[in-house]
Amino acid sequence: MSYKGDNLMSVKRTNRSAALRALHEKGAMSRKRLAHNMNLTPGAITKIVAEMISDGLLSEGEMLTSGNAGRREILIDINPQKACGLGVLINLQQAILSGAWLDGSVIFAESVPLQAEAPSEETAKRLCERLFALMAEHDIPRERVIGLGIAVRGITSADGRIVRNSFGALAETDYPLCELFESLTGFHCVMENNVRSLLAAQMFLSRDENEGSQFFLRCGYGIGAALSIDGRIWHGVTAQCAEIGHIPVIRRGGKPCHCGKSGCLETIASPGAIQEEARAILSPEQTPLLWQTFRDRSAQELSVFDVLTAAGNGDAGASAIVDQAIQALGSAIKALIYLVDPGKIILYGSLFEDPYYLSRLSSELQEGVDLRHAVEIGKSRYNMQLEDTAACLLAVQDFMANGGIQE
C-alpha cells in the first residue's frame, strides 16, 4: 500500500502527461475541449498549455469556429518532431535499432545480427556505435533524443534494470543491461520484456482503443504473451506476466523446454514444436503428402508452413500434430478467458497469416466458451510490423508518462 502524497511537481507531471495522452489519443483539440477531457478548469489548462508551448512540445494550429455564437477556438496539438525516442530490440541472433518521433512515426529501423556467445558489453558497444551512426545519417542531434528503450527477450527484473535470462539472446544471465546502455550512450534508458514492448507499441499506435483488458499472444518460434488490465500492462510480482508458453501441460514424459522444465505448452504448441514434430515423423506412412513434397529435399528445410499446408490438404500425420498444438493452445487461452474476462485477444506473428491455422484456432476457441464472454479475437492490425518500433516507443511512452519533463 502506498501512502505517498502528491507534491506540486508530481501534480504538474501528472497534468502534463494527461494532456499529452489526450492529444495523442484523440488528436488536436481546443483548450476548452482539453479542459473538458481532463476535468480541469480552463484557467488551469491555459497555464499548462502555455508552458508546454514554450517548451516546444505543443503548438497552436488551425482555428475552429464553434457554437451558435461563432466563437473561434484554436486547436492545440503535439509537435511530434520536437523530440525522438531511440530503441534497441534484442531477440535471438538479431537486434533491431530504431528511432521514432513522438507520434510513433518511424525515423529508422535497422536489423543487426547478434552473436549470442559474444560478451554483452561488446555487443552493446557495437549496437551503440551503429545507433550513433544512424542518428548522424538521419540528422538527429543529441538534444532531441528523449531516451533509449531496450526491449529484450526473456525475463527482466521487476525494476526493469537487469536481464535475468534472455534464453540465448545474450551471453550472460542476471546482467545489468539498462545501466550498461546508460553509461555507453548517456541517455535515460528504460527496459522491458520484448513481448510486453510489442503490446505497449500496439496500444500506443492504436491510440484510444485500449480500454478494458487485452491479451496479446505472440507466436514466433516459441509462444509469448502480454496482458493489459484497464489500459495498463500488467507485470505481475516477478515481472513474468504472461508466460503462457511455460504453462505445464504434459505431466510425465514431456519434451525439455528452454526454460529448464519439461512438458511446457511451448514444447507442443509453438511453431517451432510443430515443425520439429513433423520433421521427426516425416515418412511415406505417417505423413504421405508432406513426404511427397520433401522426397528430394532435406527435412531441415521443412517449415511450420509446410506442415500447415499438408494438414490443410488432408495429410493425416500433419493434421494430428496441428490438432494437438491447437487444442493445447486453445485450452490455455480459454482458461485465460474465464480467469481474466478480457475484451480483446490480439494474435501476433506470421503463423496467424496462415488462413488454415487461423480458422482452426478460431473454431477451437469458440468451442466451450459461453456467449456471455464477449471477447473479440483477431489478428493485430500491425501484425509483423511492431518489432520496428517497439523499443523506441518505450522511450516515447516513458517521456509522455513523465509529462515530457526530462531529468
The neighbour count for residue 403, using CB atoms within 10 Å, is 22
- Cα angle 173, 175, 177 (rounded to 5 degrees) comes to 135
Nearest to Zn ion of 125, 261 (CB atom): 261
User: Interface residues for Zn ion in 15-54 (CB under 5 A)?
Assistant: none
- Which residue's CB is nearer to Zn ion, number 88 or number 257? 257
Nearest to 391 by CA among 108, 180, 183: 108
- In this complex, which beta carbon is closest to Zn ion, that of residue 264 or of residue 395? 264
Site string for Zn ion, 330-359 (x = CB under 5 A): ------------------------------
Instruction: Report the nearest approach of Zn ion to the CB of residue 349 (Å).
Output: 18
CB of 48 to Zn ion, least distance (A): 48
Q: How many CB atoms lie within 10 A of CB 290?
A: 27
Residue 199 binding Zn ion, by CB under 5 A: no
Q: Which residue has the cell 511455460?
A: 246
What whole-number distance in Å separates Cα of residue 142 and Cα of residue 132? 9
Q: Between residue 230 and residue 249, which ones bind Zn ion under the rule CB under 5 A?
A: 246
**Tally of CB atoms within 10 A around 256:** 11
Q: How far is the CB of 261 from Zn ion (least distance, A)?
A: 5
If the CB atoms of residues 58 and 152 are measured against Zn ion, the closer one turns out to be 152
Residue reference for cell 528503450: 149
Which residues, other chains included, contact 393 with Cβ-Cβ below 8 Å and sequence gap of 6+? Answer: 85, 87, 100, 104, 149, 197, 200, 201, 204, 205
- Min. distance of Cβ 391 from Zn ion in angstroms? 25
The CA distance from 262 to 251, in Å, is: 8
Reported as type and span, the H/E element at residue 346 is strand 344-348
Alpha helices in 138-188 (DSSP H): 177-185
- Per CB under 5 A, contacts with Zn ion among 249-278 are 257, 259, 261, 264
Give min distance, CB of 258 to Zn ion, in A: 7
Q: Which is nearer to Zn ion, 102 or 226 (CB)?
A: 226
For the bound state, the minimum distance from the C-beta of residue 228 to Zn ion, rounded and expressed in Å, comes to 23
Q: CA-CA distances (angstroms) from residue 95 to 130, 394, 403?
A: 11, 16, 29
Which amino acid belongs to residue 22? A
Question: What is the DSSP secondary structure assignment for residue 25, as one 8-state letter?
Answer: H
Residue 112: enclosing H or E segment and its boundaries?
A: strand 106-113
Report, in Å, the least distance between residue 365 CB and Zn ion.
22
In angstroms, what is the minimal distance from the CB of 259 to Zn ion?
3
User: Within 10 Å of residue 287's Cβ, how many Cβ atoms?
Assistant: 26
- Judge whether 51 and 71 are in contact, CB under 8 Å: no
Nearer of residues 63 and 335 to Zn ion, judged by Cβ:
335
Residue among 246 and 279 whose Cβ is closer to Zn ion: 246
Nearest distance from C-beta of residue 222 to Zn ion, angstroms: 9
Number of residues lying near Zn ion (CB under 5 A) = 5
Q: Nearer to Zn ion by C-beta: 24 or 246?
A: 246
Which cell numbers in the block locate residue 225? 504473451
Closer CB to Zn ion, 92 or 106, in the complex: 92
- Looking at residue 262, the DSSP 8-state letter turns out to be B
Sequential DSSP letters for 130-175: HHHHHHHHTT--GGGEEEEEEEESSEE-TTSS-EEE-TTSSS-SSB
Q: Which is nearer to Zn ion, 155 or 396 (CB)?
A: 155
Q: At its nearest, how many Å lie between Zn ion and the CB of residue 330?
A: 18
Using CB under 5 A, list all residues that contact Zn ion.
246, 257, 259, 261, 264
